[in-house]
Amino acid sequence: MSRHQVASDLLSAAGQMQAIAAAISARPSVALPRPTDGTTRKCRSEPAAHERRADRLRHGALTLMSARESLTVTDLLEAFPDTTRMQWNWVMTTLCRRGWVVRMPSPRTTAPARYQITTAGHAVLAALRKS
């Protein structure tokens, strides 16, 4: 086979498909050992750990909101400094979608969004406290 023919085969669709299939089917002969000293990072896509953390954040937000008339994400950041603003925005969005929290309209466009717990949110919080 000449160099020109090899190059044209690699550029053709069939040649590309063969190269992709060969790359996918190639497996390493030796598996790399995983560190056991706790330095491995947990995957964020683990549903159980991710949901447990989200539930703790939701519970914390509902508890804090039940003690106040309303609050902002900044208030949550001050109360729970280990959680980022982006995470709190996501938590508040999920609480609003579930109907446990309502976003209050702001008189100013630049004011931070204020959230207030609903009666459904109080009921969920009461159920959580009983269990």
pLDDT reading at 8 higher than 70: no
CATH code for the domain in which residue 111 is found: 1.10.10.10
The per-residue pLDDT for range 69-101, each reduced to its tens digit, is: 889 999 999 999 999 999 999 999 999 999 999
- Based on C-alpha coordinates, what's the Rg of the chain? 26
Half-sphere exposure of residue 78: CA atoms within 13 angstroms, side-chain side? 6
pLDDT of res. 4 = 52
For the segment 92-118, the average pLDDT, to the nearest whole number, is: 87
Cβ-Cβ contacts under 8 Å for 117 (sequence gap 6 or more):
62, 65, 66, 100, 101, 125
For the chain, the domain total comes to 1
Expressed as residue numbers, the domain containing 72 is 47-130
* pTM of the predicted protein model: 0.60
Query: What is the average pLDDT value for the chain, to the nearest integer?
Result: 75
CA distances from 20 to 1, 5, 26 (A): 21, 19, 10
